[in-house]
């Protein structure tokens, strides 16, 4: 790898954490991830391009979303697929997923995402840890972090909270 003629790495690795202090109970937050209709509402919203979404929320279960990217996006007309496997679930405490994203059938990232729900006396601390490998033509760590920040904002609204305190950590 020290040879100057060696090719540059084709994978970018990145880890980040997002934390939210929420008023909702761990059970209520867990339900927002585990109930298919609820998750579709806050996670995907009213995206006109959502063509398909399925959720089998159990260890070894899968979640899949397929979206046609709309006009005004850098990838208009292309099909984005998010394939998820639920690796570990502890009700109202932890959800661990492995997921792969692809554009028009070509994978551009693989990630491990961990959601921890920690009771804090007056609500719940949500700790989200994302470990990603980004391939050629990937959105990259900065855009992924921005995407997950936006999703946690949507979750906060779904829970009826005006503002979950947000703390971000890069590793």
Token output for 68:
């046609």
Kindly provide the b/e burial profile for residues 89-127, where b requires at least 16 CB atoms within 10 angstroms of the residue's own CB.
beebebbbbebbbbbeeebbbbbebbbbbeeeeebbbbb
Please tell me the pTM assigned to this model: 0.88
Helix, strand or coil for residue 31?
Answer: helix
CA angle 32, 45, 94 (to 5 degrees): 25
- Determine how many CB atoms are found less than 10 A away from the CB of residue 65: 21
At residue 3 the predicted structure's pLDDT band, cuts being 50, 70 and 90, is: low
By mean pLDDT, which of 46-50, 99-103, 130-134, 166-170 is the weakest? 166-170
**133, 134, 135, 136: CA torsion to nearest 10:** -160
CA angle 78, 79, 84 (to 5 degrees): 145
More confident residue, 4 or 70: 70
The beta-strand segments (E) located in the chain are: 12-22, 50-55, 62-68, 79-90, 94-103, 106-119, 124-134, 165-170
**Residue 113 bridge partners (DSSP):** 97, 130
Report the pLDDT averaged over residues 28-55: 92
Question: Above pLDDT 70, what percent of the chain?
Answer: 91
135/151 Cα distance (integer angstroms): 22
Q: Which residue has the tokens 């990603």?
A: 132
Mean pLDDT of the chain: 90
Task: Write out pLDDT tens, residues 150-160.
Answer: 999 999 999 99
Task: Write out pLDDT tens, residues 55-85.
Answer: 999 999 999 999 999 888 888 999 999 999 9
Give me the domains of the chain, ranges plus CATH numbers: 12-170 (3.30.530.20)
């Amino acid at each position: 790898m020290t040879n100057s003629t060696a090719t540059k790495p084709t994978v970018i690795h990145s880890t980040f954490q997002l934390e939210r202090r929420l008023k909702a109970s761990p059970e209520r937050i867990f339900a927002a991830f585990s109930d298919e209709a609820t998750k579709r509402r806050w996670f995907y919203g009213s995206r006109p391009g959502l063509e398909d979404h399925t959720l089998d929320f159990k260890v070894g279960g899968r979640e899949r979303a397929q979206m046609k990217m709309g006009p005004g996006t850098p990838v208009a007309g292309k099909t984005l697929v998010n394939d998820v496997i639920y690796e570990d679930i502890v009700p109202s405490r932890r959800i661990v997923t492995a997921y792969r994203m692809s554009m028009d059938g070509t994978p551009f990232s693989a990630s491990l995402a961990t959601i921890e729900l920690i009771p804090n006396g007056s609500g719940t601390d949500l700790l989200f840890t994302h470990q990603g490998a980004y391939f050629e033509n990937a959105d990259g760590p900065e855009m992924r972090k921005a995407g997950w920040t936006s999703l946690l904002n949507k979750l906060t609204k779904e829970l009826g909270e005006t503002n979950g305190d947000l703390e971000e950590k890069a590793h």
